[in-house]
Chains A and B, each alone.
Chain A
Amino acid sequence: MLVLSRRAGESVVLGEDITITVLEVRGDVVRIGIDAPRSLKVHRAELLAQLEESNRSAASPSDDLVAQLSEALGRERD
């Protein structure tokens, strides 16, 4: 990992068209601005981890669970 020290207001440039700017440092919170093409997906790492876990736990529910849920939803509608 490349480690750089930057002050508030200073930036780093990644490749041709991505600029990351340290906007503010307050205590243990750092506000970061990211200037990148819209096609570049930028996400908080912990959200992606949470979504991956959620998707894995959602994957391939048992036939029994599906049948129960389907029945419950059908009842809910009635």
Chain B
Amino acid sequence: MAEHHPLEIPVIDMVRPLVGFPGHERFALVQLDGASDLCSLISLDEPGLRFLVVPPAAFFPDYAPEVGDDVVTDLGIESAADVLVLVVLNAGTGLHDTTANLAAPLLVNPVTQKAGQVVLDESGLPVAAPLLG
């Protein structure tokens, strides 16, 4: 099963940097363990900098961010099916106080290994959605 897992991407190029982290362009995306889809997005430019990210489907089944042509171009997306959508987590002490940023998902194109945090300005989606809504 592991060999089909889409989360195993060696080095990704953050062509649209995380908001507040300009210049952090190279990251590794590593699945933390087999028990959950939790991944660590590890900066290769700044030692110690990492983010927790997770595919939103298990928690927000209706979440389907729409992105513009500019994102499609920046990430070199040819098919929407290729794109891995992840949300950045603000980890609390447990699931009950952990939140996910739905307003600015992280899109990864495993084909080109380009990624970016996409700001969904008009969506009205929350920046801090409780993981267990």
Contacts and interface: CB of A to CB of B under 8 A. Distances in A.
Do the two chains bind?
yes
Interface of A: 38-39, 41-44, 47-48, 50-61, 65-66, 68-74, 76-77
B33 A47 contact: no
For the residues of B in contact with A, the DSSP-based class is loop
Given A65-B93, A72-B94, A72-B95, A51 B36 contact: no
Interface stretch (B7-15, B18-26, B75-83): B18-26
Interface of B: 18-21, 32-33, 35-38, 40, 48-52, 54, 58, 68-70, 73, 88-95, 98, 101, 103-104, 117, 119, 121, 127-128
A55 B127 CA distance: 10
Contacts of A53: 20
